[in-house]
Structure 1
Amino acid sequence: MTRIPTSALSSYLLGGQISRRGCIGACQALRQPAIARSAALRSCPVRLLHAAREVSAPTPPAQPVPLRKQLREEAKQAKKQGKKKSKGDSQTVDGWELTVGIEIHAQLNTSRKLFSPAVTSFNDEPNSHVALFDVAMPGSQPLFQKETLVPALRAALALNCDVQKVSRFDRKHYFWWDQPSGYQITQFYEPFAKNGHITLLARDGISLEDGESVTVGIHQVQLEQDTAKTLAQTDNIHWLDFNRVGVPLIEIISEPEMHHPRTAAVFVRKIQSLLNSVDACVSGMETGGLRADVNVSVRRTDGTNPSLGTRTEIKNLSTIKAIEDAIISERDRQIRELEAGRTIASETRGWSIGSTETRRLRGKEGEVDYRYMPDPDIAPLVIGDDLVNHLRESLAVSLDSELDTLISQFGLTPKDALSLINLENGARVQYFYKILKSLEEKFAGNTTEAELSDIKSYAPIAGNWIIHELGRLTTYKAGPLAARDLSFTPEGDCEQVPDSDLSQLLYHLIQKQITGKVAKELLFAIYFKEIEGGVTQAIKDNDLWFKEISQEEYELLADEVMAKEEKVLQGFVEYTKFPQGKLMYLVGKLMRLGPTEGIVPTTAEKVLRAKVDLLREG
């Protein structure tokens, strides 16, 4: 059977229209009277079919409404009726207090597994890196791989934890196909790090109800091994990839000290950033390197219940958005249950992307269910003070200190500063510093541009280009030759766009010697290795220098624009607040009317503002 076109399928699903062509249309024709069918065979089936019935032409069916538009309209109606609350309105519920604790599992950035010499792998052939101990072969013994301890200690120090001189490993028993030995090796009783904390600031995006900052305690950080990867197939068949068995993890357990869903989500995001900043973990949440389990409980604020409510655990949340959405959903479910006079069961629940409700998975396991016991085959882990002190001294600058520098010293927005730090595990911010150093040297010798001596005057522009314009190079706009990713070294060198070329490009752009449009075209030329002799030489060879129009030409263009916009100008005659939007509308008209490559928007705005001020006075 031929493939049904997408347009025909959408018409059927959304509007109930059936195509006249193909087997579906043929079946419809066979259901018609014999006269209609015989007429259809003699000539055009559609026209004769309608004529044979000897009835008036039917009213054409209504055009189907696109699904996206349907959903948008439904959301609008729900909002009007008060059924949908924004996340800003969902942080608290009157009369109730929410309490959240989080357990984060993160894969350590190591080349060896925790208790076997097998290498860690993520994209290799399934079951190609498996040692005997990984699959619990009788007679095999665990051998702690010392190199796995270094990134774990870096993570603990970044979380302000106390590193324990002696820690021990335990067996956590449960039977499932992803755990060949029937138990997981972890550190339940004596972990290697305790009593840490992190501070979340308003710029991190915490809930407004938490004020300027909130400090969340870290109960403990423990080492443990990962399980096998399960690959679901059809007919209830599952394949197992044992490459992941024994991969070293750290489990970060917070104190139950968060009371707003957004703050809990920000906590996980900041943990992820901290781990990246000290090169402790291999990847982020979206690629499976970090998973969060969230514990949620509620209690009334009238003092009738001084202790925390019964908690439920939501397992394996894999995105920041899912954390906030799942907490809101579970909080509201627990409140509905308690207000209806029912009790909350201690249980493990699940959450799927796009869901509106959590779902029960199983009853909550406890210490007794897991039958924790010290592992008799693994000696205690002894960590020397010299190692801890060396790692503490060699840690990178803290995330908050780096953000403070980027925001206060260089004038970046908190969002751009955080993006620079997170991209390429900090390599992008090193690239940013190299660009700034080069620009600073160029502007230091330019005595005609005194205002550019302040680094805050150009650092935000450089940051914007390094984050956004470089990012566009790898999208579809760059064409089929675009590379998949930009490659940066830890020192901040970029293979595709050398910092010397970008700094020269930005120097001419900031001095308004070239337009933004020309600068973007030159950036693509740098990316595709089409420039020889440097950026400045390419501008000269192609005569790309910016040539601004004269003041008289600005005046003539402004008069021409205003002559055609009497209705808009009426808004400038009487106003309580200056109509900036209308002014920028006129600026846009002026730029489209004149040579865009020769117009400076700020100059056009000044000219038009002066003219509308004269209009108001007159």
Structure 2
Amino acid sequence: MSRIPTAALSKYLLQGQVSRQGCLRLTRTPQISARAIALRPAIVSSSHSRSLHTQTAETPLSSSSSSSSAAAAPSNHVPLRKQLKDEAKKAKAAGKKKKKNASNQVVPGWELTVGIEIHAQLNTARKLFSEATTSSNDESNRHVAYFDLATPGSQPHFQKETLIPALRAALALNCDVQPVSRFDRKHYFHWDQPSGYQITQYYEPFAREGRIILQPRDGIAAEDGDGIEVRIQQVQMEQDTAKTMAQPGEMHWIDFNRTGVPLIEIITRPDIHHPATAAALVRKVQILLNAVDACVSGMEAGGLRADVNVSVRRTDDPNAPLGTRTEIKNLSSFKAVEDAIIAERDRQIAVLEAGGVIDGETRGWSIGSTETRRLRGKEGEVDYRYMPDPDLLPVVIGDDLVNHLRESMGQLPDAEVDELTEVFGLTAKDALSLVALDNGARVEYFWRVVESLQSKLGSTISENPACFQLAANWILHELGRLTSNPHDESAQDLGFTSDGECRRVPVDALADILLFLYQHKITAKVAKELLWVVHRGNVPDQYASVADAIETENMWFHELSEEEYAKLADQAIEGQEDIVAQFVDTTGSKPYPQGKLMFLVGRMMRLGSEERIDPKNAEGVMRRLLQEKYVPALGRAEE
């Protein structure tokens, strides 16, 4: 008899379900258990013998493998963009069209209720209960301790430093930190959980009773008006599972690097009633965690995942209890959160309107799908068999530590967005984008550029607000254009660091470009060319500085004189009497033909030396000459 698949064994043990295909089947190739693959221990000092690291010889540990050659086959990774395109093609071929979310926040006669559980990977150097290193990019199974593999005799040792980012996250979420918390075991059987249980904080978490305020600028549904408060029931620490990598031929590889990585689970109250607001909450939580350096990465990199609990009830009886909830697991993007909630809400309403009953169950969601799918019946507390972990002592957190972290946490995103909108004149959308981009590193870079510009100008923001508004727009938009070439992989990453530096465009180089542009010493076109020069590394390799590049290539702006502008205007007006006629009698109800004015300015730009023309000054000259010279001359000619 070949090895029974883990999923089938789990259904038999936990749910009493037997496979319809029977228990016996022919074996064509030998099956190798994950535990049968030998591990080669790494050499460590005796002081670290309790968390002896282990690693595989060549390949990740495998839950099943057909042969050694199959196990060595490379992984066929499919990029996210291609997954979306393939799913869209399948939906189109099947004649399915996705509903637009903009008009799909409410279903008349029904109330939606949503609670969210967010799992975020903490920014720590070590795992939660072992001294193994946390890593997401290293080779598989290179950072694994005996306890991570549930090796008999190994014991968990709580790493106290993992508590610091967890506390910062709890404070950012306005939670009450508990002086004493304890760890529990959550039992379930799966190949990504070697011990058969997960260590978490179910009964006594380290933080409770928080709240998040969502505003319209956060992207909530219009139906939520001026804002909504979402309560947080608790925040608990727990360990992550191993990473499963699907391979061809119904084979899975297991990477235990992720086993034991510290997580926090943020559990909200069921205070959300619109899909867009749910997505906005997850987005804001990610921004908050990045702002306080608690989370190692966002949803796009797999460092944050969301489970949503969805239920519906009719609105004709306000005293009716909430409907039966279903849980949608492992949503990995903000769009997936909104789309999955809409699909599940519509499914539940259709079942109830047809006279059916909603089953409490766990459901899944695929990228580009239009429907949720059933995964399994909903497990409850009895199934998980929660129990206090006998090997771990309580965690005692002092008020002095909490107060120190609260005082040193710095400015939170809401206050930062307010400052960006009020002081620098950014729109709320641009301010939020600046704060959220590159996990908060982009806005740190902005503040460093502002500091450099203040030093170079010798003045404050209030004295030269236009210069710093220019910096905000360039850092948000022009830097983004540097990474817009899909064929240049080296250009995709600007190299932002958490302390606000950028390896591809250093702070002082951008400050120099912006200062010269603000002082009209170079044109906008030249400034953009210089940005590309810096981005390609030609400064300081080919040119000593930005100023040296301008001097060497003779790119300083030598603007035309007033007389030269007037001569260009005369040339641009020549033969354009029909257009000039549209400027006659524009002082009354007739609107000023701004588009025609810009057409004439464009002719000036093409007829002259573009590197010597300031578009605003050219517009001013053309506007003045139309009023004082060309329109009166046209009137005299008609008389």
Interval of TM-score (by shorter of Structure 1 and Structure 2) = 0.7 to 0.9
Answer yes or no: is 1:158 the counterpart of 2:169.
no
| CA 1:442–1:241: 2 relative to 1, 3 Å | closer
Q: State the identity %.
A: 61
Bigger mean CA offset, 85-94 vs 366-375:
85-94
Partner in structure 1 of residue 532 of structure 2: 524
Q: CA deviation at 1:602?
A: 2.8
CA contact 1:279–1:425 (8 Å) conserved in 2: no
1:540 equivalenced with 2:559 (yes/no): no
Output aligned runs, 1:234-253, within 5 Å.
234-253=248-267
Report Cα offsets for 1:153-190 as digits up to 9, x if no partner. Answer: 11111111001111111111111111111111111111
Q: Deviations over 1:284-339 (max 9, x none)?
A: 10111100001111112212652211111111000011111111111122222222
Return closer, same or farther for 1:560/1:313 CA change in 2, 3 Å cut-off.
Answer: farther
Residue 462 (str. 1) matches residue 471 (str. 2):
yes
1:350/1:199 CA distance change after superposition, 3 Å = same
Q: 2:501 aligns with which of 493, 496, 499?
A: 493
1:597 partner SS: helix
Aligned equivalent of 1:115, options 129, 139, 147: 129
Instruction: State the TM-score, normalizing by the size of structure 2.
Output: 0.77
Mark the CA change 1:601 to 1:152 in structure 2 (over 3 Å): closer, same or farther. same
1:433 aligns with 2:415: no
- Counterpart CA distance in 2 for 1:503 and 1:273 is 26
Larger mean Cα displacement after TM superposition, 194-203 or 459-468: 459-468
Match of 1:317 in 2: 331
Distance 1:173 1:570 in 2: 83
Question: Could you tell me how far 1:386 is from its partner in structure 2?
Answer: 1.6
- Is 1:358 matched up with 2:335? no
Are 2:301 and 1:301 aligned?
A: no
1:505 Cα deviation (Å)? 1.4
Secondary structure in 2 matching 1:337: helix
The answer for unaligned runs of 5 or more in structure 2 is 1-84
Separation (CA, whole Å) in 2 of partners of 1:516 and 1:579: 26
Cα distance, 1:403–1:563 mapped onto 2, change above 3 Å = same
Matches within 5 A, 1:404-443: 404-443=418-457
Aligned to 1:228: 242
Kindly tell me the number of residue pairs found equivalent between the two proteins.
537
Verify: 1:505 aligned to 2:513, yes or no. Answer: yes
What are the equivalent positions in structure 2 for 1:215-294 lying under 5 Å apart? 215-294=229-308
In the TM superposition, residue 578 of structure 1 has moved relative to its aligned partner by 5.1
**For residues 495-536 of structure 1, what are the alpha-carbon distances to aligned partners after superposition, in whole Å with 9 as ceiling and x for unaligned?**
443322222211111122211111112222233234534333
Of 567, 592, 600, the match for 1:553: 567
Residue in 2 aligned with 1:146? 160
Quick check: 85-94 or 534-543, which moved more? 534-543
Q: Which letter does structure 2 place at the counterpart of 1:295?
A: N
Task: Note closer, same or farther for the CA distance 1:543–1:263 as it changes in structure 2 (3 Å cut).
Answer: same
Partner SS, residue 526 of structure 1: helix
- Helix, strand or coil for the counterpart of 1:114? coil
Aligned residue for 1:378? 392
1:444–1:453 CA contact under 8 A, matched in 2: no
- 2:10 — aligned with what? none
CA–CA distance in 1 between the matches of 2:601 and 2:412? Answer: 44
Distance 2:614 2:533 in 1: 24
CA contact (8 A) 2:121 2:303 kept: yes
CA–CA separation in structure 1 for the residues paired with 2:397 and 2:262 = 17
User: Using a 3 Å threshold, how does the CA distance of structure 1 residues 85 and 426 change in structure 2: closer, same or farther?
Assistant: closer
Aligned partner of residue 414 in structure 2, secondary structure: helix
Secondary structure, counterpart of 1:377 in structure 2: coil
* 1:597 partnered with 2:608: no
1:243 aligned counterpart, secondary structure: helix
User: Secondary structure at 1:357's aligned position in 2?
Assistant: coil
Amino acid of the residue matched to residue 475 of structure 2? I
Amino acid at match of 1:486: L
CA distance in 2, matches of 1:93, 1:577: 44
| Distance (whole Å) between structure 2 residues aligned to residue 101 and residue 517 of structure 1 | 50
Distance 1:327 1:571, change over 3 A: farther
Q: What is the alpha-carbon distance in structure 2 between the residues aligned to residue 315 and residue 571 of structure 1?
A: 66
The answer on whether the counterparts of 2:572 and 2:607 sit within 8 Å (CA) in structure 1 is no
Alignment of 1:47-196 (within 5 A): 86-196=100-210
- Between 1:427-436 and 1:279-288, the stretch displaced more is 427-436
1:5 maps to none
d(CA) in 2 for partners of 1:407, 1:464: 12
The structure-2 alpha-carbon separation of the partners of 1:123 and 1:490, relative to structure 1 and needing over 3 Å to count, comes to closer
Q: C-alpha deviations, 1:372-392, integer Å up to 9, x for none?
A: 111222221111112111111
Change (3 A) 1:490 1:243: closer
- What secondary structure sits across from 2:313 in the alignment? strand
Paired AA for residue 265 in structure 1: A
Is 262-271 or 523-532 further displaced after alignment? 523-532
SS at match of 2:257: coil
Q: Tell me how far apart the structure 1 counterparts of residues 406 and 394 of structure 2 sit (CA, whole Å).
A: 23
Q: Which residue identity does 1:211 align to in structure 2?
A: G
CA distance in 2, matches of 1:564, 1:600: 26
- Give distance in 2, aligned partners of 1:84 and 1:147: 46
Report the Cα offset of residue 577 of structure 1.
5.4
1: CA distance, partners of 2:416 / 2:575 = 48
Displacement of 1:564: 7.6
Which deviates further from its counterpart, 398-407 or 460-469? 460-469
Deviation at 1:487?
Answer: 3.3
